[in-house]
Amino acid sequence: METFIPDGYSSLLGMYDTQKAISLLHRLFEDRLGALLNLYRVSAPLFVEENSGLNDNLNGYERPVSFDILRSEHRAQVVQSLAKWKRLALKRYGFFPGKGLYTDMNAIRRDEDELDNLHSVYVDQWDWEKVILPENRNLDYLKLTVMDIVRAICDTQDTIQAIYPQLQILGKLEREVSFITTQELEDRYPELTPKERENAYLKEHRTAFLIGIGEPLRSGKPHDGRAPDYDDWKLNGDILFYDDVLDCAMEVSSMGIRVDPASMDRQLHEAGCDDRRKLPYHRALLAGELPLTIGGGIGQSRVSMLLLGKAHIGEVQASIWDEETIRICEENGVVLL
């Protein structure tokens, strides 16, 4: 997607009302998510030690921002996600199955190559993780969790629209989730790219969960990249809503049931990442020393865009933009924070 502003677009809220609404939206959603998933708020790091194995390499090519620390022999990396850190934190907190945590995650994606309406160098999301039992490692449990997250987002929209009636023109998000695997999506639209498949399917179904991110499809390529050492590729996926403002599918969450020792062993081998086995986190997981979990990230700016009817992510977060993006937004009266 290239940066564009839809014809006739204007923000439904002024600049300061947008900030007030974002603050309220955050509080409402966090309370609802915590209640539905039994999650408790905790503090999280902005950076981790470079050699800890706790940082994520996402699709495998993104370079984390790293730096040295005075009076320390260790280099640090700004987190790219907290998927591994959260699982270790659950062990430290001693949480029992069915109880979990959530936190704010702020990251810098220096190699983000799609700076457009939905993508920014700055990433802000709610990261959450919950301890589960062995019998919960199945698609039914994953689907029930997805439906609770969608419910939390839709409930938040209802309250926000009651407080800001001008937002009611956006209509309501679809609460019913359509579940489809990445292979079924490829079979349905073999001539389209993965993103085009998502747009086509979401235009019809409005709210969907796309199952199975990371493993190669019959075409030989995965639907999208996913690191081999946190999600189980057979038990993960993305939550997407159809965004009428931008006329496209919007991914708001990447999540899944996390790898157990067997699935991590298999995925590290398939991804050619066997060298990670020697890292402290990976050694602990392969030895069965970490709890079984489910978790994910929910984009704060993406949810704000969706519920407030914004056309550009820069309207709901402060970041750095190229001159072309700034020009397009200025010409269309869009205020970037």
Which residue in 56, 124, 215, 260 is the catalytic one? Answer: 56
Note if 109 is an active site residue.
yes
Residue pair 265/18 in contact (Cβ under 8 Å)? The answer is: no
Which residues touch 255 (CB under 8 Å, ≥6 apart)?
Answer: 145, 146, 149, 231, 236, 237, 238, 239, 294, 295, 296, 297, 298
Q: In terms of C-beta density within 10 A (0-12 exposed, 13-18 middle, 19 or more buried), how is residue 70 classed?
A: exposed
> Amino acid letter at 247?
D
CA distance 269 to 334: 47
Which residue in 80, 81, 125, 253 is the catalytic one? Answer: 125
Which residue in 32, 77, 80, 109 is the catalytic one? Answer: 109
Which residue in 112, 244, 251, 265 is the catalytic one? Answer: 251
Note if 125 is an active site residue.
yes
The candidate with the shortest Cα–Cα distance to 108, out of 35, 47, 39, is: 47
Which residues touch 265 (CB under 8 Å, ≥6 apart)?
Answer: 286
Note if 238 is an active site residue.
yes
Note if 251 is an active site residue.
yes
Residue pair 227/57 in contact (Cβ under 8 Å)? The answer is: yes
Which residue in 77, 120, 157, 254 is the catalytic one? Answer: 254
CA distance 223 to 215: 8
Note if 157 is an active site residue.
no
Which residue in 198, 215, 231, 238 is the catalytic one? Answer: 238
DSSP secondary structure letters along 134-173: GGG-SHHHHHHHHHHHHHHHHHHHHHHHHHSGGGGGG---
Residues with active-site annotation = 56, 109, 125, 238, 251, 254
